Structure 1
Amino acid sequence: MGFLLRIVFATALVSLAPAVAQAKNAVASPALQKEFDGFIEKFRAALRANDPAAVAAMTRLPFMNDNGIRDAAQFGAKTYRTSFTPKNRACIQRGKAVYDRDGYKNESYFVFCGDLIFVFTKTPAGFLFTDISVND
C-alpha cells in the first residue's frame, strides 16, 4: 500500500507542476500594458533620433542611484554614450519587452540585448528607464 500511495502522490505532484510554474509568470494588466506601450513608443522614438537628452528625460535620475549620473548631461556622457550603442539601440527598437512583478510588487519590463538587460519600471511618475543589468 505504501508503494501505491507514493505513486498517487507523485502523480498529483506532476499534475500540479504546470499550475505552479504558470502562477510564477506574472501578467501585466491591460491598463498597465497600454501605459507601457505608450512609454516604450516614445523611448524608441528618442533612440531613433539618437537623442540622449530625450532618453534622460525618461530615466530615473540619479541613474542607478549613482550621484555621478544625476542629470541629463552626466547621463549622456557616462551612460548613453557607452550603453546605447547603435547595436543596442537597434536591439531595443526590435526587442520584445518582458513583464515581471517582483516580491515587492514593483512592476517592470525588461529588454534583453546580448549581455545587457535594459529595465523599465513603473514609478509614481509613470514608467521610467531605471537600470542596465548584466544578462547572465
Structure 2
Amino acid sequence: MNILVRIVLATILLSPAAPLAHAAKKAAATHAIQTEFDGFIAKFRAALKANDSSTIAGMTKLPFMEDKTYSDAAQFRAKAYPEFFTKKNRACILREKAVYDRDEENNDNYHISCYENIFTFTSTPAGFQFTDVSVND
C-alpha cells in the first residue's frame, strides 16, 4: 500500500464521526413540554413515595395500556399498581432520570428504565399521563 493511501485511510479512520453523530441526534423536548413534564413527574414521584395508588391511578391513562383488565381506577389500583409498582420499582422511579423521546406517532414521551421495565409517560390533551410499562430488553 502506498503512503498516500495509508494517509487517506488513517485520516478517515481517525476523523471525528460528525456525520454519524448528526444522524443519531434525537429530538429534544421543547421548554414547554419539559416544564409540563417536570410538574407531572414531581407529583407522580410524591405519590409513589407515599405509596398512593389512588393518585397514581388518577395520573394514568385508562384503560391502562388499552387493556380492559385495567379499565378503571379501581382495577388499576387492585391489579396493575401492585404488579408494576413494587417497592423496588418505586425506589427506582424516584431516583432515575427520565429520558425524552418522540414516538412514530409524534407523541412527546418520557421513559424511565427500571430493571426489566420501562415506564412511559406521554403528553396527551389532558396533560402528561402514565401510559405504558414495557419490557426492557
Name the TM-score, length of structure 2 as normaliser: 0.86
How many Å separate the matches in 2 of 1:65 and 1:103?
18
Alpha-carbon distance, 1:103 to partner: 2.2
- CA distance in structure 2 between the aligned counterparts of 1:111 and 1:15, rounded to whole angstroms: 28
Deviation string for 1:2-22 (max 9, x for gaps)?
xx8xx69xx59x542221122
Question: Share of identical aligned residues, percent?
Answer: 56
How many Å separate the matches in 2 of 1:50 and 1:87?
12
In 2, the alpha carbon distance for the partners of 1:77 and 1:93 equals: 22
1:127 partner SS: strand
* Structure 2 counterpart SS, 1:28: coil
The residue that corresponds to 1:92 in the other structure is 93
**Could you tell me which residue of structure 1 aligns to residue 19 of structure 2?**
16
User: Residue by residue, what CA displacement relative to the aligned partner does 1:41-72 show, whole Å, maximum 9, x if unpaired?
Assistant: 00001101111111000000000111121111
Equivalent residue, structure 2, for 1:132: 133
Structure 2 counterpart of 1:99, one-letter code: Y
1-side partners of 2:103 and 2:79: how far apart? 28
Aligned partners of 2:129, 2:28: CA distance in 1, in Å? 19
Residue 129 (structure 1) shift: 0.1
Question: Residues 59 and 15 of structure 1: is their aligned pair in 2 closer, same or farther, counting only changes over 3 Å?
Answer: closer
Measure, in 1, the Cα distance between the counterparts of 2:88 and 2:18: 43
**Superposition CA RMSD, Å:** 2.0
Residues 79-117 of structure 1: per-residue CA shift (max 9 Å, x gap):
101110111000000110000001221110000000000
Q: What is aligned with 2:33?
A: 32
TM-score (norm 1): 0.87
Partner of 2:78: 77
Structure 2, unmatched stretches of 5+, are: none
TM-aligned CA distance change 1:88 to 1:61, over 3 Å: same
1:37–1:17 Cα change, 3 Å? same
